[in-house]
Structure 1
Amino acid sequence: MRRADWQPAFDRLLPFVEDAARTQYEAGKLDDAFRFWAVGQVLTDTGLSDNELLDAIRLDNKSDLGIDGYYEDADNETLFLFQSRFHSVPTPIGNDELSAFLASFWKILNPEIVLAAAARNPVVQDAHKAVRDAIEAGWTLAFVFVGSGYLSPEGAKYSEEFRSKVQTIDSMEIRQELAVYDIEGLLNLYESHLSPARLNTDVTLNLTPGAHFSSTVANFRVLMTNIPASEILNAFRQHQFALFKLNPRGPLQNKTNREIKATLADPQKRKYFFHLNNGITALCSSFSIQGDSVAIRDFQIVNGCQTTVTLWNSRAVVEGDNDVRVLLRLIEGLTGIGEEIAETTNTQARLKAQDFKSRDKLQADLKNQFDVLSAPIFYEIKRGDWEMEPNKQRYAESQTGVFRRIKMIDLAQATLAFLGEPGDAKDRSRSIFEVEARYKKVFPDGVRVEQLLLPWHVYLEAASQCALWNFNGAAYARYCLTGIVGVEFAPSHVLPSSQAARQLLSDPERIKGIVRRGQPSHL
Structure 2
Amino acid sequence: MNQIIENELDKIIRYSEKHGQKFTREKAFDFLTIQYFCYQTSQIEKIWFDIENDNFTDGKDDGGIDFAFFDEEDGKVIIGQNKLSETVDRNKAVSELNKTIKTLKDFEKKRVQDYNSRVRKNVQNALDRLTDETIGNIEVVFFHISKFDEKKTRECLLDQDTVSNIEFLDEKSLEELILKIKSDIQLVPQHKFNLDESKNYLEYTNNNKEGVIVNINSTSLIDAYNKYNSEGLFNLNIRRYIRSKTVDDGINQTLNKDRENFWFLNNGLTIACEDFQLDGNVLKLFNFSIVNGGQTTTLISNYKGSNTEEFFVPCKIVKSTVSLTDSERMNFFNNIAEATNSQKPIQPRDLKSNSPEMIQLQQLLEQKEIFLEIKRGISAPKKFKKKIRNDDLAQILFSFVNQKPGTARSNKKSLFSVNKNYISIFRRNYIKESSQASFLYDLIDLNERFNTISSTLKGVEKNALNSEEMNVFSNGKMIIFAILGLFYRLVNHDLDRNELLNQPSLVEEHDFIYASFISNYKKDDIEEILENLIIEITSILTDCYKTEFENNKVTSISNFFKTDKKYTDIIIPFIIKRYRIETRWIEFISPYKELLLRK
Mapping for residues 47-196 of structure 1, pairs under 5 Å: 57=55, 59-60=57-58, 63-71=61-69, 80-84=78-82, 92-95=85-88, 101-109=96-104, 111=106, 114-118=111-115, 120=117, 121-123=119-121, 126=124, 142-145=140-143, 151=145, 155=146, 157-158=147-148, 160-161=149-150, 165-167=154-156, 169-170=158-159, 177-180=166-169, 182=171, 186-193=174-181, 196=184
Alpha-carbon contact 1:143-1:179 (below 8 Å) kept:
yes
Question: Residue 346 of structure 1 corresponds to which residue in structure 2?
Answer: 341
1:366 deviates by: 6.0
- 1:196-251 CA deviation, whole Å, 9 max, x = no partner? 35523421011112532334244422111123333322221221152121121134
1:418 deviates by: 3.0
Report SS of the residue matched to 2:335.
helix
- 1:146-178 CA deviation, whole Å, 9 max, x = no partner? 7xxxx3xxx2x23x4468623464596989745
Gaps of 5+ in 1: 86-90, 372-376, 390-394, 396-403
Q: How far apart are the structure 1 equivalents of 2:16 and 2:376?
A: 18
Mapping for residues 360-399 of structure 1, pairs under 5 Å: none
Question: Residue 207 of structure 1 corresponds to which residue in structure 2?
Answer: 195
Q: Which has the larger radius of gyration?
A: 2
Letter aligned with residue 334 of structure 2? E
Q: Does 1:427 align with 2:413?
A: no
Alpha-carbon contact 1:68-1:84 (below 8 Å) kept:
yes
What's the % identity of the aligned pairs? Answer: 19
Residue number among 27, 33, 39 corresponding to 1:38 in the alignment: 33
Report SS of the residue matched to 1:38.
helix
1:499 deviates by: 5.7
1:501 deviates by: 5.9
Question: Residue 374 of structure 1 corresponds to which residue in structure 2?
Answer: none
Question: Residue 330 of structure 1 corresponds to which residue in structure 2?
Answer: 317
Q: How large is the Cα RMSD of the aligned pairs? A: 5.3
Question: Residue 398 of structure 1 corresponds to which residue in structure 2?
Answer: none
Q: How far apart are the structure 2 equivalents of 1:140 and 1:272?
A: 35
TM-score normalised by the chain length of structure 2: 0.61
Alpha-carbon contact 1:80-1:142 (below 8 Å) kept:
yes
Q: Tell me whether 165-174 or 101-110 shows the greater mean CA deviation.
A: 165-174
Q: Tell me whether 461-470 or 193-202 shows the greater mean CA deviation.
A: 461-470
- 1:396-447 CA deviation, whole Å, 9 max, x = no partner? xxxxxxxx99877666644543332211222123445666536638995556
- Pair 1:66–1:170, CA change in 2 (3 A): closer
Question: Residue 235 of structure 1 corresponds to which residue in structure 2?
Answer: 224
1:363 deviates by: 5.7
1:296 deviates by: 0.7
Q: Tell me whether 71-80 or 257-266 shows the greater mean CA deviation.
A: 71-80
Q: How far apart are the structure 2 equivalents of 1:19 and 1:294?
A: 47
Q: Does 1:452 align with 2:452?
A: no
- Pair 1:287–1:456, CA change in 2 (3 A): closer
Q: How far apart are the structure 2 equivalents of 1:162 and 1:442?
A: 53
Q: Does 1:223 align with 2:212?
A: yes
- Pair 1:58–1:246, CA change in 2 (3 A): same
Question: Residue 483 of structure 2 corresponds to which residue in structure 1?
Answer: 484
- Pair 1:19–1:416, CA change in 2 (3 A): farther
Aligned length, in residue pairs: 474
Alpha-carbon contact 2:191-2:284 (below 8 Å) kept:
yes
Alpha-carbon contact 1:213-1:224 (below 8 Å) kept:
yes
1:275 deviates by: 2.0
Residue number among 395, 399, 404 corresponding to 1:417 in the alignment: 399
Question: Residue 560 of structure 2 corresponds to which residue in structure 1?
Answer: none
- Pair 1:188–1:493, CA change in 2 (3 A): farther
Q: How far apart are the structure 2 equivalents of 1:381 and 1:20?
A: 36
1:293 deviates by: 0.5
Alpha-carbon contact 1:247-1:302 (below 8 Å) kept:
yes
